[in-house]
Amino acid sequence: MADPLSIAASVLAVVGAAGKVLAGLHYIAEQRQGPQIFKDLYSRVRDIDRILTTIQEPLKQARDEPATRTALVELQRNIDQVAGILKDIDTLISKVQSGDGTSEPSISTRKWMLKQTTFKTRMESLRNAEIKLQTSLSSAMFSQIFSGTATQPIVPTVRSPVWTVPYRQDPDFIDRPDILSKLEQLLANPASRAALVGFGGVGKSQLAIEYAFRVQEKSPHTSVFWVYTATAERFEGAYREIADKLDIKGRHQAGTDIKRLVSIALSDDSYGEWLMVVDNADDLTLFDRTDPSSESLADYIPQSRHGRVLVTSRNKAAATSIVGRHQDVINVDEMSQDEAMSLLKTKLAITFDEDDASELLTALGNVPLALSHAAGYINEHTPHVNILEYLRMFKESDGGDLGLLEGERNDNRRDRHSSNAIATTLQMSFRHVEKASPLAADILRLMCYFDRQYIPTELILDPFISGHDDNNNDDTAGQALKEGTERLRECSPSRMSGPRRTLNQRWHSFGTKLKKRREKPRISIARAHAIGTPNKTLNPTSQQTFQASEVYTGLSTLVSYSLISLTTDGVAYSMHRLVQLAGRKWSMSQPATTLWPLKAGVSISNAFQHAYFDIDFPRIRTILPHTQMVLQDSLTVLGPKPARNQERNAQKYWKVRAQVLCGLTDYHLYHNPNRVSESEIRESNEIFNTIYGSHHVDTLWARHTLGTAIARENPHLALETFRELLETLQKYKIDDKALEAAVYNCIGNFLSKTGEFEEAKQSYQKAIDRGAKEYSDQFLAARNFALCDRDLGNFTEAEHRLKSVIAELETTFPESMYDLLSCKSALVGVLVQQGEYALAEQLGRPTLESMESIVGPDHPGTFLLKYQLGICLFKLRRYEEAFALSQQCLLARELLYGPVAKRTLMTIRWQGRISEAMWNYADAEQAYLRVAEGYEQVYGVEHKRTVAARKWLGVFQLKLEARELCTVGSYAEAERLYARTAEAEKKKWDADDPVSLDTIKDLESVRAKIREQAGNSSQLTIEASMHNTEAAPQIKPVGEHTGQAAAEVGQPRSDVPTVPPQDIPDSSQGPSSP
């Protein structure tokens, strides 16, 4: 019955239930320090309790009339809804409390209490019920009901929700569930804040628009305010619109601070639930709170337990200053491939091939704004332009500018004052960066001329803190470069000194000093100018000094603007493809257009010059992708060929190109000679020869590199090149001991490969005599000298020399760590060849561990040592360990050299030998077959390596056939095949080779079987003759009969196919007589 008295009774019951719930919530929230949700729920129940208490007495005195019956029914329904919710909350409270509600909750209860989803659901239901109750009590009908009562209820005013979002919901919106779900999680609690941060065009504002519409749909009574904050004027204009919508008193008064007025109003709970979207908060100067003398717009963003704030920004620092915590910032990157494809399908009005679309997505980097722009262009120019035609035009404009991505297009889902072109959007971010930090802007210009992925920090630091000046005269620049090189070498392994320590201690200290390369003293550098610009136009006072910490601050600024990102290992940076393209165009707008590609080339050239290829292998490998960018840009800037009379800066650029080419060749020569490009090193020779002349030391070093590069394919031409170098050094009295030692070392390598070991030793000795102590060529020559003794069979002399070099390195040059490990590795090989396997393993294990720590597991020196240790373990018959090492070596060599490289095939052959020893004959045969096919693919069918591999495969197949014959009892034929196999293995492998020894044992076992069969056959013949009473033929002697039987057994079987190689020796013409 919906009459005033019955409703008053219901209200009384609900008030009593509310009191019980309030007591329970107070206990959890205050005494047990429960989560914030319990405090918020307490406030909500208290508000409802106050409303119901207010209307209780007026309801008792109200008139019951038919005209007001409908309103009373609605009020009864709302009160019943509140009563049901309070009952559910009371049940949940009883689960949290234990016993009588006064004892401590259990551990499991505390865990359950932290799961606040159920309480949040009840909180939302209670909020909706409160709004309905307030709405019904504020109606005119209830004013009529209470008009005759002595006490008038005071019901809070219910305000209609306000909506100031200036955009419609996108019907083609592509859901990005990872971002939106995280956003909903961050903004679930009252007074929460969150930010979407990413570079322009990745869809931050579109995500905010979609979230705002979802909030309105889920909670219709929540107000949503949109505040565009690109400028302080736009911020104030948005606040004035909010003040008008909310009808805030005092907004029209002269001198009123509208920002503070709105902030105070929304901080009051009377305005209900609201969400504020602070869009495009990019300018840190508007929101910076570090300077107390300047106004910060962040201070005017209200804080209320009924309000939530969502920020979109390109600047993480600005966003963090608003939301307060880094944990509340969500990084928005480009779309995933599937999301981008879905977006393209919704935007394009034509049918297309998905493979073509995938290529377009790759070209545009899955950036939503760029994809929308491209789709709009294609739609407007159909049928003349499709995806493939657009890609062609885009790639043509790729080198100089962004072309197709620069035009403005209509988009009513973006602010009309914001550009709809991705190129313009990004350049706006660049201008923000330059305003905040000119150094950061220069860093970005430099980075755009490297490969966009994994730019090592050292390449970025070098142009800003190195000791050379691109605009000084040659002597000054050379001196500065020399000083900078010396400073780097102070941190390098060849300049470390100190008391003798263990290898691990030395390596730990070495790693610490390498990290200090980042911290360098202040060095003065001048702003370079464009090639072709006279030096006199350069302002001599326009010099700046930078420390590493300043460069790191600039990098942090770029990361904050989402223009670059730090890699997971923390030592390099990456950037999006469109950021790189836009940055290149932006840098070209500067007067010194060619400054940045030149500085990028200098940075890579210095990285090669300061590299110790023996130990910097992993570091240099990360630089290789950037060399291609620099080489390509240098040709674009300079043209096809150098000239002696070119402007000085152009000559410097050519020199940088030549140095990069030489460094690249040196790296490949040391780690993977198959990748050496003879044309590139010849180009560097031509550049040095044109700029400096044929007798300059740089030209001579380039000729040395050329000789080393062609030594594999044309060793005699290389030898002639080296001898001409020696004549030039002597003729022009050029005193470069390092170059002379390097040349003698290369000549020794040639002689040792041709088997002229004594002559090679003489050349190595000259390298040792001329090499300076600080150069590793001296130790390299000493090691090679010892290896010549090894190849001559002088194992004792080789071992003695290597031990002498190791002792000198450990005592006098403990910093030459790789030289030390290299000599120890060579000593391991000598010990293996002497059959001292236990001693070789004892030395090789710690050496391998140090090698992996210093140069990495994928260094060629590490491969070689693993290979030698594998042989050692194989000879010790520890096949499982040997196979594991061979597998590691194989995987690394396949990755570095390729699947059919010589070193890879050698490892496969050795792995096949180990498999054969482990009786894994199928794996062994597959390995031998792969080696044969690999050599055939690389060298051809008739090459000696291919022929040898095929022959060895044939030997292995003979052994397999012999084993099959043994299983059927054909021991005579098996004995013949085993004999041929044993003879071939004797010539191929060492005397202590386990597989060869096993073959000999198998051969002896077969011969024993043959003897056993021959003896049994003779005995059976005699017994048959003695029992034959009808005829008594003459009995032949046992020996003669046995020999006849043996001869018959020894005949080859015509039904057994044999395919032995023609040159495998056949030492068995028949079985031996018993």
Banded model confidence at residue 1039, pLDDT cuts 50, 70, 90: very low
Mean pLDDT of the chain: 77
Angle, CA 588 vertex, CA 582 and CA 590 arms, to 5°: 120
pLDDT at residue number 1029: 44
Banded pLDDT at 1052 (limits 50, 70, 90)? very low
Tens-place pLDDT, residues 134-176: 776 765 556 555 555 444 444 445 567 889 998 888 888 899 9
pLDDT of residue 143: 57
Per-residue pLDDT at 800:
94
Q: What value does the mean pLDDT take over residues 629-641?
A: 78
Q: What is the mean pLDDT of residues 240-266?
A: 87
Nearest to 110 by CA among 41, 42, 43, 38: 38
From 849, 789, 791, 858, select the one nearest 821 (Cα to Cα).
Answer: 849
Reported as a pLDDT band with limits 50, 70 and 90, residue 1017 is: low
CB neighbourhood size of 717 (10 A): 13
What are the boundaries of each domain within the chain? Answer: 4-148, 177-331, 337-425, 848-859+870-1021
When pLDDT is averaged across residues 916-925 and rounded to a whole number, the result is 92
Lookup: tokens for 1037? 């002697």
CA distance 187 to 1032: 115
> DSSP 3-state helix, strand, coil percentages of the chain (rounded to 5)?
65, 5, 30
Q: Residue 942 carries which side chain, given as an amino acid letter? A: E
**What's the CATH class of domain 177-331?**
alpha beta
More confident residue, 851 or 530: 851
Three-class HEC string of 52-82? HHHHHHHHHHCCCCHHHHHHHHHHHHHHHHH
Q: Report the percent of the chain where pLDDT is more than 70.
A: 76
Q: How far apart are CA 548 and CA 517, in angstroms?
A: 9
Q: What is the mean pLDDT of residues 342-364?
A: 86
Q: Where are the alpha helices (DSSP H) in 610-647?
A: 617-638
pLDDT tens-digit readout, 820-845: 888 999 999 999 989 999 999 999 99
Bridge partners (DSSP) listed for residue 57: none
Q: How confident is the model at residue 1064 (pLDDT cuts 50, 70, 90)?
A: very low
Give yes or no for residue 787 having a pLDDT over 80.
yes
* Identity at 316, one-letter amino acid code: K
pLDDT at 2: 67
Q: Is the pLDDT of residue 202 over 80?
A: yes
Cβ contact 1049:1010 at 8 Å: yes
Cα 235 from Cα 295, distance rounded (Å):
13
The answer to whether residue 987 scores a pLDDT higher than 70 is yes
CA 398/CA 417 separation, integer angstroms: 27
CA 259 from chain centre, in angstroms, equals: 46
Task: Identify the pLDDT of residue 1074.
Answer: 27
Query: Which two tokens mark 452?
Result: 């966009």
Q: Residue 935: pLDDT band by 50, 70, 90 thresholds?
A: very high
pLDDT at position 159, please? 63
For the cut 70, the answer to whether the pLDDT of residue 100 exceeds it is no
In this prediction, residue 524 carries a pLDDT of: 31
- Kindly report the pTM of this predicted structure: 0.64
Q: What is the pLDDT confidence band of residue 272, given thresholds at 50, 70 and 90?
A: confident
Alpha-carbon gap, residue 653 to 164, rounded angstroms: 57
pLDDT at 489 over 70: no
Cα distance between residue 814 and residue 808, in whole Å: 9
177-331 matches 848-859+870-1021 in fold: no
Report whether 974 contacts 1010 (CB < 8 A): no
pLDDT classification of 684: cutoffs 50, 70, 90: confident
Q: What is the rounded average pLDDT of the residues 720-724? A: 91
Q: Which of 316, 336, 329, 311 is nearest to 562 (CA)?
A: 316
Peptide bond before 383: cis, by omega within 30 degrees of 0?
yes
How many other CB atoms sit within 10 Å of the CB of residue 791? 14
Q: What is the dihedral of CA 501, 504, 508, 513, to 10 degrees?
A: 50
User: CA-to-CA distance for 460 and 518, rounded, in angstroms?
Assistant: 11
**Is residue 28 within 8 Å of 113, Cβ to Cβ?**
yes
Helix count (H) and strand count (E) of the chain?
Answer: 43, 10
**Residue 1070 has what pLDDT?**
34
**How many of the other CB atoms lie within 10 Å of CB of 943?**
13
Q: Alpha-carbon distance 854 to 841, whole Å? A: 20
pLDDT value of residue 507: 41
pLDDT of residue 1025: 54
Instruction: Summarize the confidence of residues 235-253 as an average pLDDT.
Output: 88
According to the model, what pLDDT value does residue 427 have? 80
Kindly give, in sequence order, each residue whose CB lies less than 8 Å from that of residue 1072, ignoring residues fewer than 6 positions away: 1007, 1010, 1011
Specify the range with the lowest mean pLDDT, choosing from 138-147, 372-381, 409-418.
409-418
Q: How confident is the model over 577-608, as pLDDT tens digits? A: 888 888 888 887 766 555 788 888 888 888 88
What is the topology classification, in CATH, of domain 848-859+870-1021? Answer: 1.25.40
Contacts of 129 (CB under 8 A, 6+ apart): 48, 78, 81, 82, 85
What are 526-579's pLDDT values in tens digits?
333 333 333 333 333 234 567 888 899 999 999 888 889 888 888 899 998 888
How many Å apart are CA 115 and CA 408, to the nearest integer? Answer: 49
Edge-to-edge strand list for the sheet holding 572-575: 455-456, 572-575, 564-566
- Mean pLDDT lowest for which of 104-108, 362-366, 736-740? 104-108
Q: In which band, very low, low, confident or very high, does the pLDDT at 613 lie, cut at 50, 70 and 90? A: low
